[in-house]
Amino acid sequence: MARRPPRGRTPAPRAAAGLRIRMYNVGFGDCFLLFVPTSNGVRKIVIDCGSIKKKSRELREIAASLIDDCRDPDGKARIDILIASHRHLDHITGFTHPDWAEVEVGEVWMPWVESPDDPRALAIRHAQNRAAVALERAASRLGLQGVVDTALNARSTDDGLKALHAGFALRAEPRFFPAGDGVVEKIESTLLPGIDVFVLGPPNNRQALKDDTAPPGQTLLTGLLAAEDDDDEDKFQPLTRDWIEGNLALEDRLRDEAGFQDAVSRIAAYKLLAAKLDAEINDTSLILIFRIGEDYLLFPGDAQWGPWELALGNRRAIDLLEKVTFIKIGHHASHNASPASLFRDHLGQRNARQNIVHAMISMTPHGSFPNIPHTKLIQELTNRQFPFVNSDKLTGALPPGFTRNGDLWFEFAFD
């Protein structure tokens, strides 16, 4: 085990020179482009391209810029590794842009739950999709726009996914990780000579991805799925059709106290289910650590507590996390994606940069997520003197090492 380097003495590691991490300002979503120095020239890695709420520019414009930024001198856009962290729209909708069809992508990486022929992956996707469909139907009847949005974010019908599976111009066969059961797995890729990539999630077991399973046929939403025609569906509505369509006089509606109570409890239940579904899909995120020279870059997607609990209970994972020098803050700086114990006890505590970790946050305020960014997390980064940028802040001085290109992107390079 390496000893903690004394603060302020160790010279900055040189191997990462030329490394640049670019965060496009997509609003509420993620889109990252890494320029990675290797023994065989600079390689380009893209992690996610999606948004569900723009900040200043349209996503398609940003996607076009990114593609342009990846052009080689011959005019061809080439990306060595293209990674989709998980299926949420705010990470993949950008891949629907038609220009992607001409991009030559070396390898496409996705979490194992997206594998088209793994029966366990299929079962998970099927269950999540059913829940999303039912939830959307239920919530739209009650006019719960926030829940509808969450459900839509989880639907797997998106064209972005199709593009990823199709492999772009070179028809690259997607690779799915982790392939085995280990908490930490090393990814081998000939496209990244001299670079190590470790995958810490999603866990390759059902339990960590979904913490409780209600007995089949006992769930609140099963009815909505079973209902084929509208008559049946009424059974699962808290309020009668007359109530919804306004056939009842207002005072009669107000008198329907039981109907009200039922509606209120269902609304609470739907909101909770939406949150659970959201977390469950976030937990399918690839958690990647890139070792470049002595730097360790952590890209955890939107992974929440389930995978983190596993990783934080594993010596090898902790060993890697303690070496981290850069982190993409998970899930747009929500509370659950950055466990207190990760920051307090491990992150970067034995790294090569005097235990300082640089960070990037990609977000803009979103009505459904009042607790994003989580104030305590921002406070923690500040207290720990971790230099960071938030894509939502387009003015003001940036910490050393960070640059801004108007409202298009932020970039970080170790000095």
Partner 1 sequence: MFTCLSHDIIAHEVTHAIVHRLRPYFLEPTNVDVLAFHEAFSDIVALFQRFSYRDLLVEYIQNARGNLLESKMLVELAQQFGYARGSGKPLRSAIGVEASKVDLKKTIEAHDRGAILVSAVFDGYSRAFQNRIADLIRIATGGSGELPRGRLQQDLVNRLATEASQLAERFLRMCFRAFDYMPPVDVTFGDFLRALVTSDFELNPEDREEVRYGVIEAFRERKIFPTGVHSLAEDSLLWPNQVNGPIPQLESHIMDLARQLLARSASALDQVSSPRRKRREKEPSAAAGFDAPSPIQTYQQSVIESEVEESERDLDFAKDLNKKMAIQLQQYADDNRSLLGLGAQHDVACRGFHAVHRVGADQRLIIELVAQFMQTDKTRTETLGGIPFRAGATVIFDSEGNVRYIASKPMVDANLPADLQRAAAARLKSAELCVEALDCRDPTMPFADEEYLAQRMKLRAQFRALHEGLGHG
Residues that bind partner 1 (CB under 8 A): 127-128, 130-131, 134, 146, 211-216, 218-222, 265, 268-269, 271-280, 304-305, 308-309, 331, 334-336, 339-341, 368-372, 374
CB-based contact 302:333 (threshold 8 Å)? no
CB-based contact 186:198 (threshold 8 Å)? yes
- Residue carrying structure tokens 């900040």: 55
Alpha-carbon gap, residue 91 to 50, rounded angstroms = 4
**E strand map for 63-157:** 78-83, 104-111
Both structure tokens of 80? 């060595």
CB-based contact 12:415 (threshold 8 Å)? yes
Nearer to partner 1, 98 or 367 (CB): 367
Query: Which residues have C-beta within 8 Å of that of residue 145, sequence separation ≥ 6?
Result: none
Query: Which residues have C-beta within 8 Å of that of residue 111, sequence separation ≥ 6?
Result: 84, 85, 86, 176, 177, 201, 202, 284, 285, 286
CB-based contact 174:110 (threshold 8 Å)? yes
Which residues on adjacent β-strands are paired with residue 104?
Answer: 78
The DSSP code for 163 is: H
Min. distance of Cβ 218 from partner 1 in angstroms? 6
Min. distance of Cβ 25 from partner 1 in angstroms? 20
Exposed (0-12), middle (13-18) or buried (19+): which is 392, by Cβ within 10 Å? middle
Nearer to partner 1, 296 or 308 (CB): 308
- Compute the half-sphere exposure of residue 36: CA atoms within 13 Å on the CB side of its CA: 28
Both structure tokens of 48? 């996610």
Both structure tokens of 228? 């084929």
Min. distance of Cβ 258 from partner 1 in angstroms? 15
Min. distance of Cβ 335 from partner 1 in angstroms? 4
- Residue carrying structure tokens 């507590």: 305
Nearer to partner 1, 187 or 317 (CB): 317
Alpha-carbon gap, residue 205 to 117, rounded angstroms = 16
C-alpha distance from residue 180 to each of 44, 174, 200, 290 (Å): 26, 16, 11, 19
Both structure tokens of 59? 């996503």
Alpha-carbon gap, residue 314 to 297, rounded angstroms = 19
Min. distance of Cβ 279 from partner 1 in angstroms? 4
